[in-house]
């Protein structure tokens, strides 16, 4: 087991964390997840199972894709960015720690993806169908038990498509 330590020394911080050996990695580790899922024989069935859709062909698999629109904007590192032959975008994230505000984080990832797709002057109808999927090892709270698709509406006018729904907790 390799170990890197970060301690406060004067005005500097030195990392203090344990690094797993390759034999200790699981599918929930970023590196292993990216290595396994870059093979469509593994990724395609996973997406089809989670979303209950049929995907004919995966065109692009991009692990650890970074999106940052401006030098002073908050960027994101997408664990797995995937597109299929229909132009549908899938962002698959592995969440191993309990983090607050997952729904807001999902919303931010979604909007960042939309911004990267839609260039200036292009009509909103050109936005692609997009799925943001968080695979969590922790038990989500009622607040975070959301799966894309999610239906959102304002009064009687839908904000998002009718294909979206909220998961019921069991």
pTM metric for this prediction: 0.68
Q: Which residues contact 139 (CB under 8 A, 6 or more apart)?
A: none
pLDDT at 72: 80
Q: What distance in Å separates the CA atoms of residue 44 and residue 166, rounded to the nearest whole number?
A: 23
- What is the SS3 assignment for 43? helix
What is the dotted CATH code of the domain comprising 26-158? 3.40.1350
Domain ranges of the chain: 26-158
- What is the SS3 assignment for 42? helix
Q: What distance in Å separates the CA atoms of residue 63 and residue 113, rounded to the nearest whole number?
A: 14
Look up residue 53 and give its DSSP letter: -
Each of the 170 residues of the chain gets a pLDDT tens digit; together they read 454 555 565 666 655 567 888 888 888 888 888 888 889 999 999 999 988 889 999 998 888 888 877 778 788 888 899 999 999 999 998 887 766 778 888 899 999 999 888 989 999 999 999 999 988 876 655 554 544 444 333 444 444 443 444 443 33
C-alpha dist (Å) from residue 112 to 68, 94, 100, 165: 8, 18, 19, 21
Overall residue count recorded for the chain in this entry: 170
Strand-pairing partners, residue 133, are: 92
- Identify the H or E element spanning 112: helix 102-117
Q: Across 52-163, where does the E strand assignment appear?
A: 58-67, 76-84, 89-95, 130-136, 153-154, 157-158
Helix 30-37 and helix 40-51, axial crossing angle in degrees, nearest 10: 100
């Amino acid at each position: 087991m390799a170990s890197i330590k970060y301690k406060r020394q004067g005005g500097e911080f030195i990392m203090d964390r344990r690094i797993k050996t390759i034999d200790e990695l699981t599918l929930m580790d970023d590196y292993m997840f990216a290595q396994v899922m870059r093979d469509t024989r593994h990724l395609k069935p996973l997406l089809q199972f989670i979303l209950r859709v049929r995907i004919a062909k995966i065109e692009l698999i991009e692990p650890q894709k970074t999106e940052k629109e401006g030098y002073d904007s908050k960027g994101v590192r997408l664990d797995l960015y995937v597109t299929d032959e229909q132009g549908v975008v899938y962002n698959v994230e592995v969440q191993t720690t309990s983090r607050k505000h997952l729904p807001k984080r999902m919303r931010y990832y979604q909007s960042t993806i939309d911004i990267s797709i839609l260039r200036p002057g292009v009509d909103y109808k050109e936005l692609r169908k997009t799925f943001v999927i968080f695979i969590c090892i922790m038990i989500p709270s009622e607040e975070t038990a959301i799966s894309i698709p999610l239906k959102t509406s304002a009064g009687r006018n839908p904000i998002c498509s009718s294909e979206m729904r909220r998961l019921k907790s069991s």
